[in-house]
Amino acid sequence: MIKIPDEVKYIIDTLEVGGFEAYTVGGCVRDSLSGKEPQDWDICTSALPEQTILCFDGHDIIKTGLQHGTVTLMLNNKAFEITTYRTDGKYKDNRRPEQVKFVNVLKRDLARRDFTVNAMAYNPKTGVIDYYGGQSDLAERKIKCVGNANKRFQEDALRIMRALRFASVFKFSIESDTSAAMRDNKKLLHNISAERISDELNKLILGEGVKNIFAEHIEIITEIIPELRGISERILCGIETAPKDLIIRLALLFNDSSPDIAANILTRLKYSNDIIKTVAALVLYRDAEINTRQDIKRLLNKVGEERVRQLFILKQANTVLLDEIIEQGQCFLLKDLAVNGGDLLNAGIAEGVRIGVILNKLLNMVIDEEITNDKCALLEAAKKFT
């Protein structure tokens, strides 16, 4: 039996009192049957949007999805989407239906959904409604399209990436007909916005089954990222065993690429400037030496502590020396140097652009441990540069 939140029970009960059918549907049913805590609870109903609004008269309602039959109800500061049973009209650009038609039969609504595991509904009185074998596919850990797979992907090509994402996240396999249809329709991915592609790619590479999904469906991945042709098993194993950190896994994904290629791919896929710069920096410094304190301090000076820690994760390196440097407040930045430009001026050592040159030479000496970060010692050393 699926345990639904009190708010969801209230919504279903209220709609039923109003004379309508109502069910939880989609991912919340799938996750509940898998023993996972759903993140969201969506409700489908035979009530038309205006009827749903009347049923919840006096409640806080958001009406922004009315054209698609969706009403968002706020209860206890939580948002619940309530959507009228519907069928979709013709799809445009292999992404969105041009129009939707409201229906009063649950089975027709479930028939339009992407995968069988997402096409189940639940009501406490009737139990699980499963017209398309979702429970069986869930038990077999399998992603399978509802109905004709080619039609599903031609309606919405993003479903190709969603299939890969679900299979990676849940560590499922992809049913053979569904997999074949994904390959046959892979070029339709070019009709999907880069932002949508990257959103699914992020979830895919953070999944526990990313290695097998990439290996088995690389021709689909390379349809959108051709630069990944020939990606090695070593790289895929590294991604799958790495921490579930997007930056780390993206850096590993492009580990055999140049920083420029990594940046170009991420730019093409509309990633944020911060992600692009960070991943490119990690790729640039992936082979940097981190064996000594001097090595680590040079890197800290160039890219900062956060990036260096990410490099240590990428290299699966012990952080004892890095932790020691940070905890002891060892100097690796100009701001931490025991002398500044004013000190050099007051000592009559330098002026103008020479100040910066001398300070950087002193910092490099401290980083290389040729001199201690002591004001007197630094001023004495600075005199030799004049």
CATH classification at residue 161: 1.10.3090.10
Q: Kindly state whether residue 19 falls inside one of the protein's structural domains.
A: yes
Q: What is the arithmetic mean of pLDDT over 129-136? A: 97
Give me the number of domains the chain comprises: 4
Q: Are residues 53 and 159 in the same domain?
A: no
Give me the pLDDT at residue 166, please: 97
Q: What is the arithmetic mean of pLDDT over 260-268? A: 97
| CATH number of the domain where residue 59 is located | 3.30.460.10
DSSP state of 358: H
Domain end position, chosen among 248, 264, 280: 264
Q: Are residues 114 and 218 in the same domain?
A: no
Q: Kindly state whether residue 98 falls inside one of the protein's structural domains.
A: yes
Q: Are residues 145 and 72 in the same domain?
A: no
Instruction: Give tens-digit pLDDT for 15-71.
Output: 999 999 999 999 999 999 999 999 999 999 999 999 999 999 999 999 878 888 999
Q: Kindly state whether residue 287 falls inside one of the protein's structural domains.
A: no
Q: Are residues 35 and 102 in the same domain?
A: yes
Instruction: Give tens-digit pLDDT for 141-180.
Output: 999 999 999 999 999 999 999 999 999 999 999 999 999 9
| CATH number of the domain where residue 370 is located | 1.10.246
Domain end position, chosen among 97, 112, 134: 134
Instruction: Give tens-digit pLDDT for 196-246.
Output: 999 999 999 999 999 999 999 999 999 999 999 999 999 999 999 999 999
Give me the pLDDT at residue 66, please: 85
pLDDT at 134 over 80: yes
Q: Kindly state whether residue 276 falls inside one of the protein's structural domains.
A: no
Q: Kindly state whether residue 271 falls inside one of the protein's structural domains.
A: no
Give me the pLDDT at residue 32, please: 96
Distances (CA, A) of 138 to 33, 106, 178: 8, 21, 15
Q: Are residues 93 and 146 in the same domain?
A: no
Instruction: State phi, psi for 231 to the nearest 5 degrees.
Output: -55, 135
Give me the pLDDT at residue 67, please: 83
1 confidence band (pLDDT: 50, 70, 90): confident
Would you state the structure tokens that stand for residue 325, as one six-digit string?
A: 């440097």
Q: 304: Cβ–Cβ under 8 A, 6 or more apart, which residues?
A: none
H helix or E strand, kind and range, residue 109: helix 106-111
Give me the pLDDT at residue 92, please: 64
Q: 140: Cβ–Cβ under 8 A, 6 or more apart, which residues?
A: none
Q: What is the arithmetic mean of pLDDT over 304-326? A: 94
Instruction: Give tens-digit pLDDT for 55-105.
Output: 999 999 998 788 889 999 999 999 999 999 998 766 666 556 667 889 999
Give me the pLDDT at residue 349, please: 86
Host domain of residue 370? 334-383
Q: Are residues 367 and 350 in the same domain?
A: yes
Q: Are residues 46 and 128 in the same domain?
A: yes
Contact 69, 87 (CB under 8 A): no
127 confidence band (pLDDT: 50, 70, 90): very high
Instruction: Give tens-digit pLDDT for 265-294.
Output: 999 999 999 999 999 999 999 999 999 999
Domain end position, chosen among 264, 279, 306: 264
Q: Are residues 117 and 3 in the same domain?
A: yes
Q: Kindly state whether residue 34 falls inside one of the protein's structural domains.
A: yes
Contact 159, 195 (CB under 8 A): no
- Cα–Cα–Cα angle for 13, 18, 22, nearest 5°? 50
Nearest to 292 by CA among 328, 316, 320: 320
pLDDT at 121 over 70: yes
Q: Are residues 17 and 129 in the same domain?
A: yes
Q: Are residues 51 and 177 in the same domain?
A: no
Distance in angstroms (rounded) separating the CA atoms of residues 139 and 124:
21
Give me the pLDDT at residue 95, please: 54
Q: Kindly state whether residue 119 falls inside one of the protein's structural domains.
A: yes
pTM of the model: 0.88
Q: Are residues 260 and 150 in the same domain?
A: yes
Give me the pLDDT at residue 94, please: 59
Q: Kindly state whether residue 284 falls inside one of the protein's structural domains.
A: no
Q: Are residues 151 and 111 in the same domain?
A: no
